[in-house]
Structure 1
Amino acid sequence: MSNEENIPYVVTGKSYTAVAINCAAKAGEWIKTRLGQFTSLNIKSSAADLVTEVDKGAEIMIRKLIMTHFPHHEILGEESVDPGREASAQALQEAKEAEYLWIVDPIDGTTNFVHGLPFFSVSIALAHKGEVIVGVIYDPMRDELFVAEKGKGAYVHGKRMRAAKDPALSDSLVATGFPTEHDEALPNNLATIAALAPQVRNIRTIGSAALSMAYVADGRLTGFYEWNLNAWDMAAGSLLITESGGRVTDIDGNPYHLGVRDVAASNGAIHESLLNVLRDAVPQR
């Protein structure tokens, strides 16, 4: 083990990262107490795109905490944006010029939460002039906090994370999801699952893009991809992965930025092979 990995990870009390951790932990603990006890369930863009009063309450809680510390920062939160690709793109366009932009998904994995399946997370990122500099993903059911700071590495349980060492697709465990947009994104994902399944060790669908990306960062998954995601699904996870030695791009191999919707993330070693399979399976994008 290198000396770098022996150095304890310390977050100073007034830092951006400390605020992100505090927000994620407080919201996550409250969300955990509401599992199976939500009172309202609404459909957004499709029957698979759900929201409860817990999502909305958690976002309000996070917003208030952030604004207490950084009243001049901007916040882009999932539950403050109308459903659909166009509304998401417009909201990002309006917010991305902010010097400091917090990007919040109060519950990533709402469908799991609604059904009592304990795989969901709180995702909070901070971008400075469009570049993600802090990423925090908190899994309240397992009390796992994944944290990354730009240039300082990524950590879980205070220990440095490293992407998986799997050298080839045949050694890889890859995750994806089933998009809520059924006209194009869902057929794309189904086509790629059929193409990829014979070439990898296996495929998983966890139901939380943020948690999937955290698992790529920690080497539990070799890769993850999905169509039609939003900035709040990926921003924190993108930094976790790159700070763990992995790679995040769009499906065409271009570097990740906040406007990416069709994402591929991996340990780096399998990245080009993964992209080739995805592009071959869906040549018209």
Structure 2
Amino acid sequence: MNQFLSVAREAALVAGKVVMEIRRSNDLGIRIKEDNTPVSRADLAAQEAILTTLHRYFNHQVRSEELPYAEGVFVGKDSPETWILDPIDGTEEFISGGDAFSISIAYAYRGEVLAGVVYAPALEQLYHAARGEGAFLNDQPVHVRPIQNLEEASLLLTPEQRQREIYQKILHTLRVKPRIRKLSISLKAAFIACGEANLYIKRGPTNEWDIAAGDLLIQEARGILTDLSGRRIVYTDKDPRHILGLCAGNKSLQPKALKMLQKGLT
């Protein structure tokens, strides 16, 4: 296991312990941020635990949902080495008492993710991947399912997405079956990587920290993830919300779905 992955795993496990301790205390310290999304005491404590762990080993740039640039502690914006993290992906799920939230940590060099961890502490699921070394769930190798035909495939949706007109249109266009699960974005990517569903499609902007680790998981599980124009994601943009939609699946289904979406939803 390479050094970056080892440290990412350590940071995720430490943060997971902190998050679960705060959850058991019932003192979540919830407030609403300027973008009208919630943040809890656990988000900030998990971020601090991750930053402390990373700083013990490295002096790299960091991007985080709760701290877009950790300047003054880590190397500034010109560093080619970047840690991209979401202390709690799925804060609303965490606050509501659900289990489908995750901690997402990725290491990128010049925009390419080389190591990534997605940890769901309440589910006791630790996904990890390193470039060229495969994808794993709790240290067991995982792969995308090798389905060839869209008619046999399932599309991963949340209950809320299932009710939206655009996703009903996507289901109709692709003629796929819905696979309904309430999951954080990084856990959706992990579910594709381990074959729990065959396609994941997201409309609208996506933050880098939500998908960076999951992107590598899918690639190392023999799948592919692009934006809705078909471009692979490079994690160097100054605006972390530069990713315009997502389409993930195996290397046979994903291009077929993307082509049909580009024709059917324009």
Do Structure 1 and Structure 2 share a fold, with TM-score over 0.5?
A: yes
Quote the residue 1:225 is aligned against.
201
Task: Report deviation, 1:282.
Answer: 3.7
Q: Aligned to 2:100, which of 107, 114, 119?
A: 119
**Residue equivalent to 1:147:** 128
Kept in 2, the 8 Å contact 1:172–1:201? The answer is yes
**TM-score normalised by length of structure 2:** 0.86
Of residues 225, 228, 236, the one that matches 1:248 is 225
1:260 offset after TM fit, Å?
2.4
Could you tell me how far 1:172 is from its partner in structure 2? 1.6
Alpha-carbon distance change, 68 to 211 in structure 1, aligned in 2, over 3 angstroms? same
- Measure, in 1, the Cα distance between the counterparts of 2:244 and 2:170: 20
Residue 264, structure 1, aligned to residue 258, structure 2: no
In structure 2, the CA distance between the partners of 1:159 and 1:276, relative to structure 1 (3 Å rule), is same
Q: Distance in 2 between matches of 1:178 and 1:110?
A: 17
Q: Distance in 1 between matches of 2:158 and 2:248?
A: 13
Cα distance, 1:33 vs structure 2:
2.4
Instruction: Tell me if structure 2 keeps the 8 A contact 1:192–1:278.
Output: no
Identify the match of residue 166 of structure 2 among 192, 211, 215: 192
Partner-residue secondary structure (3-state), 2:164: helix
Partner of 1:135: 116
Deviation at 1:177, TM superposition (A): 5.4
Task: Pick one of 102, 105, 113 that aligns with 2:83.
Answer: 102
Q: CA deviation at 1:114?
A: 0.7
C-alpha separation in 2, matches of 1:204 and 1:255:
26
Percent identical = 27
CA–CA separation in structure 1 for the residues paired with 2:128 and 2:141: 10
Aligned counterparts of 2:125 and 2:28: Cα–Cα separation in 1: 27
**Paired AA for residue 65 in structure 2:** E
Higher strand share: 2
C-alpha separation in 2, matches of 1:110 and 1:178: 17
Deviations 1:230-249 (A, max 9, x none): 00001000000001100011
Superposed CA offset, 1:169-208 (max 9, x none): 22222224599xxxxxx9xx93431112231121425230
From 39, 42, 57, give the equivalent of 2:31: 42
**Secondary structure in 1 aligned to 2:225?**
strand
Mapped contact 1:231–1:261 kept (Cα < 8 A): no
Q: Report 1:24-63 matches (<5 A).
A: 24-35=12-23, 37-44=26-33, 49-63=37-51
Name the CA shift for 1:154/1:39 in 2 (closer, same or farther; >3 Å): closer
Q: Report the more deviating stretch, 28-37 or 50-59.
A: 28-37
Shift of 1:100: 1.1
Residue 149 of structure 2 is matched in structure 1 by: 168
Task: Tell me, yes or no, if structure 1 residue 273 matches structure 2 residue 256.
Answer: yes
Q: Secondary structure at the match of 1:16?
A: helix
Determine the C-alpha separation between the residues in 1 that align with 2:140 and 2:102: 19
Larger CA deviation: 241-250 vs 265-274:
265-274
For 1:251 and 1:177, locate their aligned partners in 2 and report how far apart those are by CA, in whole Å. 19
Distance 1:281 1:177 in 2: 22
Residue identity opposite 1:79 in structure 2:
E
CA contact (8 A) 1:38 1:52 kept: no
2:66 counterpart SS class: helix
User: Which range moved further: 273-282 or 200-209?
Assistant: 273-282
Per the TM alignment, residue 67 of structure 1 is displaced from its structure 2 partner at its CA by 0.7
User: Aligned to 1:215, which of 183, 191, 196?
Assistant: 191
Aligned residues between the structures: 249
> TM-score normalized by structure 1?
0.80
SS at match of 2:115: strand
Q: Residue 175 of structure 1 contacts residue 206 of structure 1 at CA under 8 Å; is this kept in 2?
A: no
